[in-house]
Amino acid sequence: MTTQNVTIPALSGGSFSAYLAVPSTQPSAGIVLIQEILGVNQNMRQTADDYAKEGYLVLVPDLYWRLEPGVQLDSEIKEQWAKGFELLQAFDVDSGVEDLKASLAFLRQHPSSTGKVGSLGFCLGGKLAYFMATRSDADANVSYYGVDLDKNLAEATKIQKPLLLHMGENDEYVSPNAQASIQQELKDNPLVTIYHYEGVSHGFSRAGSSAYRQAAAELAHDRTLAFLKQHLGSGVIQGATA
């Protein structure tokens, strides 16, 4: 596996940086890995590396580039967590989705890509992964504890490719009523799979954080790998469960 920083032209003009992890097995299916409110931090880069070791070509775009390029925040430092929320409030979702579409195109055109590319996001990224399912032609999409999905269910009719949702039962940012609305609206859509994880909160898959819960995180990861293998294929998938 090799890693590098790359520059991607934005559809609206300008350009932004992204972290790219390239597996040793090629050609490979691609994943646009979508940041939390914390930017392209060490956790996101490590997650990219982990998926690259599973045989995927992984790109993590800097979606905050219009606000402050190169943001890297730590969820365990109170002031940095607060800054993440400030950036979230200023973040333009529509522009972010356009940047993700540019990232999708970049991966599809990459020399070591099979052309199959999906998205996978956490928190804010989980919300954006849902929008990639409704607004882009990504081949598959995975949302971990996506926020505000209940406020955007009108777009659910536009889902054209498989979508996997991971939701923590005690997510402090996605209320039980919100989760019930999401479940009710999407339960009959054959393209959507929803998993609920008992007793865990927002960020349960964020390794190294106080929210991390190993059993739930590993189960969700195994389910994600199986989902990606089914819908994207890959070079060499290790540790996937069917």
Positions annotated as catalytic residues are 171, 202
Closest CA to 63 of 86, 95, 107: 95
**DSSP string spanning 143-209?**
EES-SSGGGGGGGGGG--S-EEEEEETT-TTS-HHHHHHHHHHHTT-TTEEEEEETT--TTTT-TTS
| DSSP letter, residue 72 | B
Dihedral, CA atoms, 211, 238, 232, 99, nearest 10 degrees? 40
Distance from CA of residue 222 to its chain's centroid?
15
Q: How many residues does the chain have?
A: 242
